[in-house]
Amino acid sequence: MTELANRYWNARHEFHFDSPTGTIEECLSRAMASATHPVVISDSGDNPGGGGNSDQTFFLQALLKAGTKDVLLGGMTDRPATDACYRAGVGATLPLSIGATLDPLMCRPVQVKKAVVKHLTSVTRPEEGEAVVEFDGITATLSARRRLYHSAEAFRDIGVDPAQFKIVVLKCGYLHPTMKVLANPALMALSRGAINQDILHIGNHRRQPTWPWVADLAWTPTPYVSARFERK
């Protein structure tokens, strides 16, 4: 067991993400400068598939601040905004408050003055609602409850083709195979959220010292017999 533990420890620097990473701003800057498309960016800290709220607006704020156009933003969870779209109907233009409905402490909602409702999914229950809206050069999906928009089919089912956009932002971690083949290139934003992947910047207030917070930590595994084993 000591040998196996040593092998894991010695291989710790070999584990990495399968896409280039950066802050939201770094990934967005690279995407805007890209000569190829669609650039697919994972908003990894707000991935509902991993336990994220899928309602954080950090990426949306950055998109609007940069004036980015031709963007598909997939996966904003917002029951009030979705319900408002259903009341207004397809083709309507309305103001929307988007995001920060599940976790209003981490970020603030984004106030959109004029959003055009492009699609509403036919549903039997309001909590199943899905809407597609356009505003300020951004096409965004809204849903009444958390759901994954991580595959190309999830978008095509609601009348959106992700291949037609310059930039696609997904609230996910690793890309679904159908999006991976479209990505040209794929980037992962180490964004804030319930499942922040930027480990070093989270902070460690538990056992000290611990790697990777202590980069040059020297450690040797020590085997011990568990109390459960001794009871047998």
Residue 178, CB half-sphere, CA atoms under 13 Å: how many?
12
The domain segmentation of the chain, as residue ranges, is: 18-196
Long-range interactions of 4-10: CB distance < 8 A, separation 24+ = 5/221, 5/223, 6/220, 6/221, 9/219, 9/221
| Token pair belonging to 19 | 């896409």
According to the model, what pLDDT value does residue 229 have?
A: 64
Lowest mean pLDDT among 51-65, 186-200, 216-230: 216-230
According to the model, what pLDDT value does residue 125 have?
A: 94
How open is the CA angle 196-201-203, to the nearest 5 degrees? Answer: 100
| Token pair belonging to 131 | 């809407």
According to the model, what pLDDT value does residue 150 have?
A: 87
| C-alpha span between 110 and 30 (Å, rounded) | 24
Mean pLDDT, all residues of the chain: 93
Q: Where are the alpha helices (DSSP H) in 67-137?
A: 79-88
Alpha-carbon distances, residue 188 vs 111, 144, 196 (angstroms): 26, 26, 12
According to the model, what pLDDT value does residue 231 have?
A: 58
Section 164-175 average pLDDT: 95
Kindly report, residue by residue over 105-157, the tens digit of the pLDDT. 999 999 999 999 999 999 999 999 999 999 999 999 999 999 999 899 999 99
Section 91-111 average pLDDT: 96
According to the model, what pLDDT value does residue 38 have?
A: 98
Do the beta carbons of residue 206 and residue 61 sit within 8 Å?
no
More confident residue, 71 or 16: 71
